[in-house]
Structure 1
Amino acid sequence: MSFDRVFAKAPVMAILRGMPLARSVELADRAWDLGIECVEVPVQDEEAAAVLAAVVAAGAERGKPVGAGTVTTAERLAWAVSAGAAFTVAPGLDTEVARASLAAGLPHLPGVATATDVQTARAMGLDWLKAFPASVLGPDWFRAMRGPVPEVPFVATGGIDASNAAAYLAAGAKVVAVGSALEDPGQLRALAALLAP
């Protein structure tokens, strides 16, 4: 599994953070039905790790990739591996966690916010990077980064919803990741509209 493949069909990722197991599976199914292929479940505690495992199982039935988010420690990486996650995501760039994830066979998507972060991550062989927090960085950050590193695909994460996602994609983000906005039941459908040709 590579991020090129994970994000090949749609420029939107749904982040199911802090939701009960049944609700998480329900939202994942709805996202997949709407053409949003990629789902992330943050694993900030053991309960969330169980939710991840359930969503991974649901995704496996449909051939959909599910990643583990907020993987910032060896313990959380172990939960991700145990649950069968397809990839890991982190809010920042921790080289030890990134290397351990790659060693476990899981592509890692680290958070970056500076050119130094980008260069460090790329030097480690990390191809896709998560720009976080995107709402603080703003669309101009993506335009600026296209100058020195046009080859780097960024996932805009943090403060993204259906009202501003298109602006980030237009500015150069390859994918937008939407989390807390999914509490609004209309968000998934509105985000799916971005997939229309």
Structure 2
Amino acid sequence: MDLLAELTARRALCIIRAPEIPDPVGLARTLVDAGMPIVEFALTTPDAPRLIERASQVDGLILGAGTVMSDRDARDAINAGATFLLTPGLRPSVAAEAVRARIPVVLGAMTPTEVATAVDLGATAVKVFPAARLGPAYFADLHGPFPDVPLVATGGLNAKNAAEYLAGGALAVTAGSGVVGPELAAESMFEEIGRRAREFLAAMGTGT
């Protein structure tokens, strides 16, 4: 799986974080059908490795694990079926485990120094967080010294502002609770989740 190629084509990644997800298969299938197949299950969600293992059976799903904090987290996620990893900040042990396992890793960063360190650690792309506090212009600023570093905008993005971050220079953006709200996931409200995903993509200009 070429994560950069998929992010370039899709431009969106969905973050799933909820206190309860009774039907991860149905949730994943809903997002794939809506045109948002790059999905991360945050490890802060209870029993996340089991959810990843169950969701991995969904055809067309590009499945990752987020909020990966340690090499043990990384191994558990990979063993469960995650095909890429994301971290909230610089996590050298996670990067090393991803390199060892030969899977993509998206490391979190905010400052130019952190972006440079993420690149040195072998990041496939750099997740810039919190994007909404930094603004779309910050991505153009980062591309001055880092013209070839793929940047993923994360934090506070929604259907109303996502396109601004793509225009500002982000390779891709993340869709979080605005698409898969915790209560929607807990109650398996797939019709509403699918509607929100399609709305998000349409606002980005990538919907079908």
Contact 2:14 2:38 in 1 (8 A): yes
Residues 31 and 19 (structure 1), Cα distance of their counterparts in 2 relative to 1, 3 Å cut: farther
Contact 1:113 1:132 in 2 (8 A): yes
Residue 118 of structure 1 aligns with which residue?
Answer: 115
Q: For structure 2, list consecutive stretches of 5 or more residues without a partner in the other structure.
A: 185-191
Structure 2 residue matching 1:91: 3-state secondary structure: coil
Residue 11 of structure 1 aligns with which residue?
Answer: 11
Distance (whole Å) between structure 2 residues aligned to residue 45 and residue 19 of structure 1: 6
Q: Does 1:159 align with 2:168?
A: no
Structure 2 residue matching 1:129: 3-state secondary structure: strand
Q: Does 1:129 align with 2:126?
A: yes
Residue 29 of structure 1 aligns with which residue?
Answer: 29
Structure 1 residue matching 2:201: 3-state secondary structure: helix
Residue 53 of structure 2 aligns with which residue?
Answer: 53
Over the matched positions of the two proteins, sequence identity in percent amounts to 35
Contact 2:137 2:168 in 1 (8 A): yes
Measured against aligned partners, the alpha-carbon deviations of 1:90-113 in whole angstroms (never above 9, x if no partner) come to 000111221112212221101010
Measured against aligned partners, the alpha-carbon deviations of 1:124-157 in whole angstroms (never above 9, x if no partner) come to 2323110111112211210211211111111111
Residue 83 of structure 2 aligns with which residue?
Answer: 86
User: Which of 168, 175, 178 is the matching residue for 2:175?
Assistant: 178
- Which amino acid in 2 is paired with 1:158? G
Residue 149 of structure 1 aligns with which residue?
Answer: 146
- Which stretch of structure 1 is more off in the superposition, 123-132 or 180-189? 180-189
Query: With structure 1 as the length reference, what TM-score do the two structures score?
Result: 0.90
- Which amino acid in 1 is paired with 2:117? T
Structure 2 residue matching 1:67: 3-state secondary structure: strand
Q: Does 1:189 align with 2:191?
A: no
Q: CA deviation at 1:19?
A: 5.3
Query: Cα RMSD over matched residues?
Result: 1.9
Distance (whole Å) between structure 2 residues aligned to residue 119 and residue 30 of structure 1: 36
Q: CA deviation at 1:24?
A: 3.6
Residues 24 and 163 (structure 1), Cα distance of their counterparts in 2 relative to 1, 3 Å cut: farther
Contact 1:20 1:51 in 2 (8 A): no
Report the number of matched residues.
194
User: Which of 94, 97, 101 is the matching residue for 1:100?
Assistant: 97
Distance (whole Å) between structure 2 residues aligned to residue 52 and residue 13 of structure 1: 16
- Which amino acid in 1 is paired with 2:38? C
Residues 95 and 87 (structure 1), Cα distance of their counterparts in 2 relative to 1, 3 Å cut: same
Structure 2 residue matching 1:106: 3-state secondary structure: coil
- Which amino acid in 1 is paired with 2:157? I
Q: For structure 1, list consecutive stretches of 5 or more residues without a partner in the other structure.
A: none
Q: Does 1:139 align with 2:148?
A: no
Structure 2 residue matching 1:54: 3-state secondary structure: helix
Distance (whole Å) between structure 2 residues aligned to residue 173 and residue 125 of structure 1: 19
Higher relative contact order (CA 8 A, sep 6+): 2
